[in-house]
Amino acid sequence: MPFTRIYNLHFSSQRAYVRKLKNMLGFVPKNVRLYQMAFRHKSVAITIKEGVKNSNERLEFLGDAVLGSVIAELLFKLYPYKDEGFLTELRSKIVSRANLNQLSRKLGFNELIEYDARMVSYPNKQSSLLGDAFEAVVGAVYVERGYTFTKDFLLNRIIKPHVDIHTLEITETNFKSRLIEWCQHYGKEVQFVHLDNPAGESSKLFSVEVLVDGSTCGEGRDFNKKSAEKLAAEKACEFLRVFETDD
C-alpha cells in the first residue's frame, strides 16, 4: 500500500474518517478531501469561485456519467439478444434515484453526508440526498483511481453483492404511468413539458419538466426522449412521495 494511504489510515488526524471510508468502499482513499466533498450537499457548501461551491454537485455529474457507462456495458454483455429499449429500461431501473438511495443507505453513506440540519423538516428535499451522494462518490473514485478501477469497484463491490438485476428485470417501475395514475386519483393535473436546452448544449439532449397543478415537481435530461420523461417522472414521484401514499 502506498505511503500516503498508510499514513491516512493509521497516522493522520482524519484516520477515524478514513477507516469508515475503507469499511464502506473496500479501499483506503488517498485524497480524503475529495471524498469529503462527495458527501457535502450544497446546503452546507461555501462558494469558492464565482458561484461555484465546494459541494458534491460536480462530482455527482461525473459519477452519473461513469455509472451509466458501466451499467450500459454490463447489460450489453449480459443480454446479447435484447434490444435498445429493453436495455435502456433496465438501466433506468438500476440507476433510478430510489435504487441509488437504497444502495447508499446499505453502504452506510448516510452516516457521512453533510447537509443543513434544517432540511430534516422537509423530507421531500431529502429524497435525492443519498442517491446524489452515491453518484458523487463514484465520481470521486473515478477522479482518484481512473475508469478501470471504478468499473471494478462498481461491479464487484456494489452491483454483484447488492443489486439483483434479474429481479429488477421483472419489476414494474413505470414512474410515468404511476405518476399519471396518482394524479388522476387525487384530481391533479399533470403535464410533461419539453424544454429548450441552454445555449451551447447539445441539441440531441432532451430536457423535460413535470408540472403537477402548475408546479414543477421534477426534471429529467437524457439523450433519449422517453428516458428524459421517465427521469422527470421518477423525480416527481419522489418529490410527491407517490409510493409512500396509502391509496
Catalytic residues: 64, 135
> How many C-beta atoms lie closer than 10 Å to residue 1's C-beta?
10
d(CA 46, CA 36): 13
H-assigned helices in 79-124: 84-94, 97-107
Q: Please write down the long-range contacts of 19-28, taking CB distance under 8 Å and 24 or more positions apart.
A: 20/108, 20/111, 20/112, 21/112, 23/108, 24/107, 24/108, 24/109, 24/112, 25/137, 25/141, 25/153, 25/157, 26/153, 26/157, 27/153, 28/1
Between β-strands 47-49 and 52-53, what pairing exists: parallel, antiparallel or unpaired? antiparallel
Backbone angles phi, psi at 164, to 5 degrees: -95, 90
Which of 226, 131, 128 shows the shortest CA–CA distance to 174?
A: 226
